[in-house]
């Protein structure tokens, strides 16, 4: 089994969550390090950019996934080719099975970026339903 950190449309309440419906929900948390997350205004889809030290400690959900689910997530996220997949430390702040916060490494889908893509972009710490109403 593999731990995956999701920060966008795979979270509960969003249209891609069905990919994780049969997976074990571990809890909620945030990236230990800061990374920029932008949201495409036309599609309302978030992108985590591989630029450690910029942005925020992005919030999300952690799941334990099977090899089959990971393969399905890879296809959804266009890995390899579109997204990269990397292990990042995640600080879990809410786990129904533990009382104290803790940190684990999770797979995270992240985009390589070009400097011009982030120069005038707003960075977010959390993706929620308000992003759907901000679509242009």
Of the listed 61, 77, 117, 134, which one is catalytic? 77
Residue 127 φ then ψ, to 5°: -105, 125
Query: Is 77 a known active-site residue?
Result: yes
Rounded CA-CA distance 36/55 in Å is 4
Handedness of CA 53, 46, 85, 60 (dihedral sign): positive
- The radius of gyration of the chain from alpha carbons, rounded to an integer in Å, stands at 14
Burial of 136 (0-12, 13-18, 19+ CB in 10 A): exposed
Calculated CA dihedral for residues 44, 46, 49, 55, nearest 10 degrees? 100
| Catalytic residue list | 77
């Amino acid at each position: 089994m593999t731990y995956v950190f999701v920060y966008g449309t795979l979270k509960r309440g969003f249209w891609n969550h069905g990919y994780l419906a049969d997976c074990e929900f571990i809890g909620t948390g945030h990236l230990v390090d800061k990374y920029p997350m932008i949201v495409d205004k036309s599609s309302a889809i978030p992108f985590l950019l591989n630029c450690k030290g910029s942005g925020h400690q992005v919030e999300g959900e952690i799941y334990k996934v099977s090899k089959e689910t990971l393969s399905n997530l890879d296809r959804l996220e266009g890995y390899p080719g579109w997204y990269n997949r990397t292990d990042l430390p995640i600080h879990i702040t809410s786990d129904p099975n533990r009382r104290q916060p803790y940190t684990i490494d999770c797979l995270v889908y992240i985009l390589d970026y070009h400097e011009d893509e982030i120069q005038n972009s707003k960075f977010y710490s959390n993706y929620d339903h308000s992003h759907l109403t901000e679509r242009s």
